[in-house]
Every structure is written in C-alpha cells, then in structure tokens.
Structure 1
Amino acid sequence: MPTSTLLAAPDAKNTLWTPFTYTLFRAIWLASVVSNIGTWMQTVAGVWLVTTLTTSALLVALMQTATSMPAFLLSMPAGAMADLIDRRKLLLFTQGFMAVVAFLLGVLTLVGEVSALGVLAFTFLLGLGVAVNAPVWQTVTTELVPRPVLPFAITLNGVSNNIARAIGPAVGGVIIAYYSSGWVFLLNGVSFLGTFAVVYSWKRSEEATTGPAENFTGALRAGMRYVRYSPAIYAVLFRTFAFAFGASAMWGLLSVVIARKLHLSSGAYGSMLSWLGAGAITGALLMGRAGKWLNFNQRVLLGSLVYVGTNLCLALVTNVYWLYPVMFVSGIAWLMVMTSFSTTIQLHVPKWVQARVVSIYMLVFQAGISLGSITWGELADHASLEVALLVTAGWMLASMLLALPFPMRSAEGLDLAPAGHWPDPEVQGSIDPDDGPVVVMIEYTVAVPDLAAFRQAAARLTRLRLRDGSLRAGVYSDVADVTRITEFFYVATWGEHQRQHYRFTREDQVIEAQVRQFHTGQIPPRVTHFLSFPKTPNIEVALPFETMEGQQ
C-alpha cells in the first residue's frame, strides 16, 4: 500500500468509523468478522461432536486444552516469525493451513470416519494455526491505518470478535441441529479461504532494511530484552495479568452461577453471554467519547472497578433479571480495558519488534485467564462459589493499586520511526557480521556542576542501549579528571551492533540529545569501536586434540 494512503487529513476528526474509510482495512475487517464467526461455529460443533462420540468427560474437557495449549507453545515463536518473515506471506500460509485442516475434518465427519480423538487432533492443528496467526494479525492493523486512527481500528477488531461471539454459536447450533457438524467445519474452511483471498489482494509495500538478518533465537531474545528494558511495556503486562487473573472468574464461573446458584438452564447462560456481547459492542460506540474524558490508565481503573461490582453481584444477587444489566455493563468494561491494553502496547512499540512484544502480551493475558480460572475454580470447590467470587472482587480492588508503581503511559506524540542518524563507522578491512564481541565507547567532557543531571540523562540512554541489543552498558568517569566521562556498551557481534543503528528511533534520539547537550568539548563526543582482538568469529570452536595436547 502506498504511504500516501495512510496519511489522514490534518484537520480530520477521527471517530470509530474513520478506519472504515481505508479500503483495505474495511475488507480485512469484514473478512475477520466472517472468519471469527466460522471459528465460533467450529468451537460449538467440535465440542458437540466429541460429546456425541464419547462418554468420557475428560475428552470433552480436553477440547479446551486442544484449543488453548498451542497459544502457550507457539505465541512467542510466532511473534518472532512475524517480525522476521513477510507478514502477508505468513498470513496467507496460516489461513491456507487452517482452511485445509477444517476441510479435512468436515469431509471425514460427513463420511463418518472421525473419532473423538481425531476431532481433538484436528482441533489442536487448528489451534496451531490460530497461535501462529494471532500475533501477525494483531500487528497488521498498524500497517492499514495511520497512527492517529489506530485506537479506533483496534476497538473495531474487538467489536468483530464480539459480533462473532454473538452470532457464531447460534448459527452453528442451528446447522448442527438440522444437518451435521461436518457442514459447520466445511463452512469454517470457506471462511478461511475468504480471508486468504482478501490478504492475497493486499499489495504490501516493501519494508526498509533493518540491518543484517536476525536468526530465530536471536529474535526471541531481542523481543524479551526489549520488554525487560521498556518500563511502559512491562507496566502494561503487569496490569494485564492482574486484570485477566481477576476477570477470569466471571468467564469461568458464570455458567456455575447460572446452573448451581440460580438453577436455570443453558438458555439463561446463553442470554448472559448475549448481554455481554451487546455491552462490548456498545462500549465500542462509546470509545470515542471515552477518549475525550478518560486516558487509557483511567479506563483500566474504571473497568477494574466495574469488575469489582460484577463479582459482587454474581456472588450476592439471586434474581437473574438484575444480572442482565450487570453483564451488559461488564461487556462495556471488558472492551474498554482490553482495547486500552492492546492499543497502549502497539503504540509504544516500533515496527521491528512489534509482533514479538504483542505475542508476549497475548501470552501474559492467556496465562492470567488460565491461572485465574484454575484458582477461582479450586476455591469455589473447596470453599464455596460465593466465597470465590467475593475474594475475586477483593483481588480486582487490590489490583487497582498497581496503577501507582505501574502507570500506563501516554503514547501520544511518540515518533518511533528509525532515526537513521548514526553514520557507519570507519573500518579497515572487512568485518563479518558474526565477528565480535564489539565495544563502543563515547567520550564526553562535562562540567562539574552538570555531573548529577548528566548522570540521570545517561541512565535513560543506558537503558536504551540494553533494550536495543547491548549485553552490558554503563558510564564511567576518569579518576584523574572527573569531567572526562566515557559511555560504553558491549554488543555480542558486529551484526547486532549494525542492527542497533536501525533500532534507534527518533524518540530515542531526543534522549541521546539530552545527554549530548552536557558535552562542553570543542569537538563532538568522540565515538570509537573496538572489536575483539585477534578478530575471530564470535562462536565457540573446539580446538583439535593435537593442539590441546601441545598446550598442556
């Protein structure tokens, strides 16, 4: 897509409907709605089919495991792949793979050649496709709309999930009742083909070079390192886990409240979910106004407070009609909180590491939901349902205190485009990207009254060096002349240092300028690069046995 198509008019007033003015986003969003509906249909049909093929409750319960386990196994590797491989090609592969799996399951079901274990296996394969697809699908949105429109686009992605949740199970149930689960699987396969066709029509522009190619394990380490040294990112991750851990009680225990406490049928449970979905869709419509009144941090706090009330109501209210509006408000809060987390993550991350950070975010969210469901379910079994929900309400209330040590920072105005201002160093001879390690030293002259302020500014720059690939970094002063300061950072290989050049953003450049303003020398700070001597590849090479004998 040409860059010009992503430039919004300066005086344009963005709303929830603005992303739909971008043709490709509109096409992919509609395709995602259809695909999500197919996925929810598949979920209902798969569980029902296993229920009819076996009397084992364990096999039925394992359907959820077969769906969620691939996300734990592949979330982070998938994020690394999405940053290393062309995202369009990866989407085409995952959509095609899932279509083939769905078609095979549908055909085998229709001819009566599928067993309960077979359904579990095919469900696991589909889960693998979803796990690889999810991080890249999340990050593609940033390429379809300009940055000011991104919060609305992410909100609409949440709306598509809730529309599918409201429609998919109902449509799937009707097809199962009148025809067969096999037809549901085939329709799900068709939905994947529809998404495949839309993505295939996407003429993605070539990406700018980001230095020597990363290997897979190096890419994984780079993603985890980026999160470790990015306070704005790990603040969101802490808040995400705390919220997901507490909110999981509603998702995990709602059916138990309906069946055991209120003694109602599955129809009432379905109605509750419908009210949740309706609330989420309404929340999307309110997000425009919420953006004017509340920042992301305040939205998460408000949503957490709503879930305090949700759990209290599920524990104490005995009239189902009072719970319907509670679920409606809970749906609004759910969408408001989840879009706040997702948008904050994506707005704080440059493109080169975006999918990896999103995959870590998704892993943390899934871990919170899974661990929370187990915790609150165990508590409900060993104490009581009411006690579990009341404790959950207390957890949600306490989790709001995390806003003090881990505030969600505004990303408004951040410029995460590559700075591209580091000149390539002058070298003698050729250097292989695997040569190393490399030490970079930058010499400053700083006046004594400015040393304290310089130290604070340099600490922020040191964190950036570590975040972008340095194994060690620091600032030292000459014991003979305290005004002579040397900043150093240590990188594993020459290729990794070259990648640092491309990872440094314009936002980082501002922090570097704050450090350099304290330099009082007549010439700019002197930068020198040192390569391990003698120059050798930075890999362990076993010495021949004869050589080792000679060294003894």
Structure 2
Amino acid sequence: MTRTGLLADMTASLRVRNFRLFALGQVASVTGTWMMFTAQDWLVLRMTGASASALGVVTAAQFTPVLLMTLAGGAMADRLDKRRLLMAANSMSALLALALGLTVLSGRAGLWHIIACAAGTGVVNAVEIPARMSFISELVDAPLVPNASALSAAYFNVARVLGPATAGLLIGFVDVGGVMLLNAVSYLFTVAGLRSVRTSELHRTEGRRERGGVVEGLRYVGKRGHLSLSLALTAVVTLAGFNFQVTLPLLASTVFHTDASAFGLLTAAMAAGSLLGAMATTVRRGRPSERAVLATAASFAVLVTLSGLAPTFTTALLGLGLTGCAMVAFAQSSNHRVQLGSDPAHRGRVMALYTLISQGTTPFGALLTGWLADQWGVRGALMASGSVCLSAVLVAWGISLARHGREESAAPTRVALERR
C-alpha cells in the first residue's frame, strides 16, 4: 500500500461531512477541557500545599457520577435525540467552567468550589459520554465505525497534547481563572459543530431498546468468556494504572520541583505518545486477538513501573511518552475486541458496561493512588500501579490458556456427536 493509500485509509471517516464537523468541534472543546484539568489540578496543589489526597478527592468527585449515572445516561441516549442531548450537555459544561473561572478570578474560590464544579462536570459527563460514543454510529456508515472510533481517540489525544501545554504557558499570563474561562468558550465550537450537522444525513434507526436491557446485557457478557475476560482486565488496569491526573502533577511538583509549564510538558509528552498509539489503530479493520490485548496491557504495566523509576525530568518525558502509547494501544485493543465481539443486538449495552468499567473505576483509583502517593511518594505509587497491572495480565493469561484448553478438549467430543 502506498503512503497516500495508507493515509486515505487512516482518515476515511473525515471524508464524511457530519463526522468532520463533529470532530473539529470536539478537538476545540476537548483541548479546552484538558486546559481546565491542568489549571484545576495546579490550583488544588497551590491551595493545599501539594496535597495528593486533596487532588485525589477532586478527581474522585469528577468521576464518581460516571460510576453512578452512566447506565442512566445511556438510557437517555437511547430515548432522546443524541444530537440535541450533546448540545445541552456541552452548554452545561460551558456554564460550569464559566462559573468556576469567575469565582477564581474574584479571589473567593475555595476547595469546595472546585469539588462542586468537578462533581457537576461528572454528572454532565455521565450523560455526554454514552451519547457521544453511540452518536458516532449515526455520523458514519457501519463499515466506518471502527475507523471513526479510532480517529476519535486520535483527536482526543491531539487535544491532550495541545491542552496541557497551552495551559502551562497561559497560567503565567492569565492565571488559572483565565484558563477556565477559555475552556468555557471552547464548548461553543462543539455546539456550533453539532448545530451544523445535517440531520437528513444521519444514520438513525427507529428501534428502541427494550426495558430490562441492562440485566440481559450483563447475562450476555457473563456467558461469553472472551468478553468478560477483556472487561475484567480493563477494570483492573484502569483502576490501578489510569490515574495520571493524580500522579503527573505530583511528579512535577514534588519529585522534579518544577512549575506549571513543566507539568504541562509532562502531560503533553504522555499525550503525544497516546496520539501515536491512537493513530496506529486507525488502520485496524478486524477484531484484535486476546493475545494482542494481553500484550498491550503487559507493555503498559512495565512502562508505568519504569516511569516511576525515571531518574531525570528528560527520562520521565520519554518514559511517559512510551507509557501513553501503550495505554492507548491497550485501551483501543480492549475496546475493539469487546465492541466487535458483541452481536449488534447487544452491542449498545455491552459498550455501556465497558464505559462504566473503564471510567467508573477512576474515583477509586484516584483515591487509592493519592493515598499511596502520600504514604510512599509518587514514585512508589507508580511502581505499585505497574505491579498490580502486570499481576492482572498474568492471571488473565492463565485464565485464557485454561479456557482455550477446555475448548480444544471439547472440540473432538462435538465432532464425534455430529458424526453420529
């Protein structure tokens, strides 16, 4: 395949006008969101004297609603117009960012203001995330859904590069309150993109999910080991390993003793690696193997541990870049294995469960990582995270081998019965 042909395959969904408008709006708002995260975390550390536990509480407040309300948000996405729901959710996020930004600039902001805004953002995300994930299938034809999903991860990681780096520079000029106001403005681009979508070109179905579908979806997953294993591994890895909102600011402030700009560089280095991992998955057209999921999880576990041992700021940048690449490679492999391994009648419920597992564990992971960092330091917390993830991979590998062994031993019996 030529270089031009490869690029065309990687960007196939962008030739669809509706998806292109949606993606451009998302790049703007997600960039603003990561600017907000950087400013918010830096403000918490500044207000609390670099307290890891306080940072963990703020992160937990932001993600707890995802744990509690995502299934309800998925039901709303099934019953309501997803485009209008996304417009409302992004408008509410803009209002929350505006309120916190003005409070910070007025000099009256306290830690409880940050926690309240984080919790409000979490409630909005519990509605927005399942709506956004399922809206992709309305923007493009079914064959382009995997490519659109991978491109969504790619632009998310582009924003993760631009957002923290930009925030690190802007904090020195407009302080954290000004960065928060810019985030509020960024949501307007998403709303504008959604308003410009041609509804006549959306791929909508008239069907509605039956009541009680969540319970049926859980039964469906429980009877399929290839799905439940990937979901269980995702739960452990995200719980123990995907807590960089807590660890990165602590690395910058307590290990390398740097300023907000250097914190932005650490986050941007990891996001740059994540972008490479996301772009690599855009060419995928089939379902990844279980071995690929295990291999990417093991790579992530090893690299997290090595990042915790990084002796200098430069080596930390390199280690976090590689860690970001492995993180997205695992997340996309697991996502695609679960999504493409589910039949269409159950796929929405299975992906709602995947979202709940992959993002709903964040509050517990943030609190645990914050506590570990207070006890052992951020280096110890990172090494503990890597060890837990690697142990989970080894257990999952053993379960996979045992299941395949049972399937192979049962195969001759099935053949004999069919011949009778």
TM-score, normalized by length of structure 1? 0.61
Q: Displacement of 1:113 after TM fit?
A: 6.5
Check 1:14–1:227 CA distance in 2 against 1; reply closer, same or farther (3 A cut).
farther
Which of 337, 351, 354 does residue 344 from structure 1 map onto? 337
Higher relative contact order (CA 8 A, sep 6+): 2
Residue of structure 2 equivalent to 1:87: 82
1:263-303 residue CA offsets vs partner (Å, 9 max, x unmatched): 442455443322211212222333356x4999343432332
Which whole-Å CA distance do the structure 1 matches of 2:247 and 2:43 have between them? 24
1:145-199 residue CA offsets vs partner (Å, 9 max, x unmatched): 3343333322221122222222223333444433354543443333222212222
Which of 323, 329, 334 does residue 327 from structure 2 map onto? 334
Residue of structure 2 equivalent to 1:208: 206
Which whole-Å CA distance do the structure 2 matches of 1:321 and 1:252 have between them? 20
Give, as a single letter, the amino acid of the residue that structure 1 aligns with 2:31: I
Q: Displacement of 1:226 after TM fit?
A: 3.8
Tell me, yes or no, if structure 1 residue 238 matches structure 2 residue 199.
no
Tell me, yes or no, if structure 1 residue 139 matches structure 2 residue 134.
yes
Which whole-Å CA distance do the structure 2 matches of 1:151 and 1:399 have between them? 27
Residue of structure 2 equivalent to 1:279: 273
Give, as a single letter, the amino acid of the residue that structure 2 aligns with 1:234: S
Tell me, yes or no, if structure 1 residue 152 matches structure 2 residue 147.
yes
Check 1:74–1:177 CA distance in 2 against 1; reply closer, same or farther (3 A cut).
same
**Does the CA contact (< 8 Å) of 1:315 and 1:389 recur in 2?**
yes
Tell me, yes or no, if structure 1 residue 362 matches structure 2 residue 355.
yes
Residue of structure 1 equivalent to 2:38: 44
Q: How does 1:189-204 map to 2 (within 5 A)?
A: 189-202=184-197, 203=199, 204=202
Q: Displacement of 1:32 after TM fit?
A: 0.7
Task: Please give the secondary structure, in 2, of the residue aligned with 1:405.
Answer: helix
1:489-525 residue CA offsets vs partner (Å, 9 max, x unmatched): xxxxxxxxxxxxxxxxxxxxxxxxxxxxx9xxxxxxx
Tell me, yes or no, if structure 1 residue 247 matches structure 2 residue 247.
no
How many equivalent residue pairs? Answer: 400
Task: Please give the secondary structure, in 1, of the residue aligned with 2:10.
Answer: coil
Give, as a single letter, the amino acid of the residue that structure 1 aligns with 2:18: L
Higher strand proportion? 1
Give, as a single letter, the amino acid of the residue that structure 2 aligns with 1:306: S
Q: Displacement of 1:367 after TM fit?
A: 4.7
Q: Displacement of 1:380 after TM fit?
A: 5.7
**Does the CA contact (< 8 Å) of 2:231 and 2:357 recur in 1?**
yes
Which of 378, 384, 389 does residue 396 from structure 1 map onto? 389
Q: Displacement of 1:133 after TM fit?
A: 0.2
Check 1:56–1:12 CA distance in 2 against 1; reply closer, same or farther (3 A cut).
closer
Identity across matched positions, percent: 25
Q: How does 1:161-310 map to 2 (within 5 A)?
A: 161-179=156-174, 181-202=176-197, 203=199, 204-210=202-208, 214-215=210-211, 218-248=212-242, 252-254=246-248, 256=250, 263-266=256-259, 268-287=262-281, 291=284, 295-310=288-303
Which whole-Å CA distance do the structure 1 matches of 2:270 and 2:157 have between them? 9
Which whole-Å CA distance do the structure 2 matches of 1:390 and 1:302 have between them? 19
Check 1:350–1:378 CA distance in 2 against 1; reply closer, same or farther (3 A cut).
same
Which whole-Å CA distance do the structure 1 matches of 2:195 and 2:344 have between them? 22
Task: Please give the secondary structure, in 1, of the residue aligned with 2:399.
Answer: coil
Tell me, yes or no, if structure 1 residue 30 matches structure 2 residue 24.
yes
Which whole-Å CA distance do the structure 1 matches of 2:152 and 2:108 have between them? 37
Higher helix proportion? 2
**Does the CA contact (< 8 Å) of 1:80 and 1:219 recur in 2?**
no
Give, as a single letter, the amino acid of the residue that structure 2 aligns with 1:280: S
Residue of structure 1 equivalent to 2:409: none
Which whole-Å CA distance do the structure 2 matches of 1:342 and 1:325 have between them? 26
Q: Displacement of 1:329 after TM fit?
A: 1.9
Which whole-Å CA distance do the structure 1 matches of 2:107 and 2:313 have between them? 41
Greater shift, 88-97 or 175-184, is seen at 175-184
Which whole-Å CA distance do the structure 2 matches of 1:241 and 1:348 have between them? 18
Task: Please give the secondary structure, in 2, of the residue aligned with 1:207.
Answer: coil
Which whole-Å CA distance do the structure 1 matches of 2:184 and 2:353 have between them? 28
Tell me, yes or no, if structure 1 residue 324 matches structure 2 residue 317.
yes
Q: Displacement of 1:390 after TM fit?
A: 4.8
Larger radius of gyration, structure 1 or 2?
Answer: 1
Gaps of 5+ in 1: 1-10, 410-451, 458-517, 519-552
Q: Displacement of 1:33 after TM fit?
A: 0.8
1:302-347 residue CA offsets vs partner (Å, 9 max, x unmatched): 3223224324423544244334332222222112111112223333
Which whole-Å CA distance do the structure 1 matches of 2:105 and 2:372 have between them? 42
Which of 94, 100, 104 does residue 95 from structure 2 map onto? 100
Task: Please give the secondary structure, in 1, of the residue aligned with 2:9.
Answer: coil
**Does the CA contact (< 8 Å) of 2:304 and 2:323 recur in 1?**
no
Q: Displacement of 1:29 after TM fit?
A: 0.9
Check 1:284–1:120 CA distance in 2 against 1; reply closer, same or farther (3 A cut).
closer
Q: Displacement of 1:77 after TM fit?
A: 1.4
Check 1:86–1:406 CA distance in 2 against 1; reply closer, same or farther (3 A cut).
farther
TM-score, normalized by length of structure 2? 0.78
**Does the CA contact (< 8 Å) of 1:76 and 1:359 recur in 2?**
yes
Q: Displacement of 1:233 after TM fit?
A: 3.0
**Does the CA contact (< 8 Å) of 1:239 and 1:406 recur in 2?**
no
Which whole-Å CA distance do the structure 1 matches of 2:121 and 2:163 have between them? 17
Task: Please give the secondary structure, in 2, of the residue aligned with 1:295.
Answer: coil
Check 1:123–1:405 CA distance in 2 against 1; reply closer, same or farther (3 A cut).
same
Which whole-Å CA distance do the structure 1 matches of 2:360 and 2:256 have between them? 31
1:412-432 residue CA offsets vs partner (Å, 9 max, x unmatched): xxxxxxxxxxxxxxxxxxxxx
Tell me, yes or no, if structure 1 residue 128 matches structure 2 residue 126.
no
Give, as a single letter, the amino acid of the residue that structure 2 aligns with 1:326: G
Q: Displacement of 1:55 after TM fit?
A: 7.8
